[in-house]
Structure 1
Amino acid sequence: MPATKIFSDIFNLSEYNSNQEKMMEIIQNRSERFLRLRDVMDMTTLCRSSIYNLIKAGDFPKNVTVMGKRKAWLESEIEDWMMEKIEQSEQ
């Protein structure tokens, strides 16, 4: 069941619109930060090999070079990937 249907069933339309506006504000105001592999693993509950296998398959955000050999992921890209997974599970 799509999230919009769930929300419309639980809240009246004006409350839903208010909540949707609050979510958009939160998303637009988020600040960007780098995440280390351990942080990504903690956020997604995936192990190291699963993350790299998903990257290789094109199903997970690629890391970026911060400096030298130091790699990191953008927090917003990991959050977006997680939201995609949540939306897919609701369909």
Structure 2
Amino acid sequence: MTDRFVSIPDFCKRTTLCRQTVYNMIERGEIARPVKITPNRVAFPAPVVEAWFASKTEAASA
């Protein structure tokens, strides 16, 4: 992944999770809160998304 930030809609597309599921995961602490990149826009830093994918991949292969 070469993007510096991943928007919530892009994260939803890549994971096939709906927006509400992502927000629930944020509230439960399963993924870090997105950061505010402009006054009206939030996104996940790319390393957070990469770490989340890696943890899910490791858990699936264990």
Category of TM-score, reference length = shorter chain: 0.7 to 0.9
- Contact 1:41 1:48 survives alignment (8 Å): yes
Separation (CA, whole Å) in 2 of partners of 1:32 and 1:39: 11
Q: Which residue of 1 aligns with 2:61?
A: 90
**Structure with greater helix share of residues:** 1
Q: In the TM superposition, what whole-angstrom CA distance separates every residue of 1:58-77 from its partner, at most 9, and x where no partner exists?
A: 00121000011211111121
Aligned residues: 62
SS of residue matched to 1:61: coil
**Structure with greater strand share of residues:** 2
Which is higher, the Rg of structure 1 or of structure 2? 1
List runs of 5+ in structure 1 lacking aligned partners. Answer: 1-29
Of residues 43, 55, 63 in structure 1, which corresponds to 2:34? 63
List runs of 5+ in structure 2 lacking aligned partners. Answer: none
For 1:76, give the aligned amino acid: P
TM-score by length of 1: 0.61
- Contact 1:61 1:81 survives alignment (8 Å): no
Bigger RCO (CA 8 Å, 6+ sep): 2
TM-score by length of 2: 0.86
Q: Give the aligned CA root-mean-square deviation in angstroms.
A: 1.5
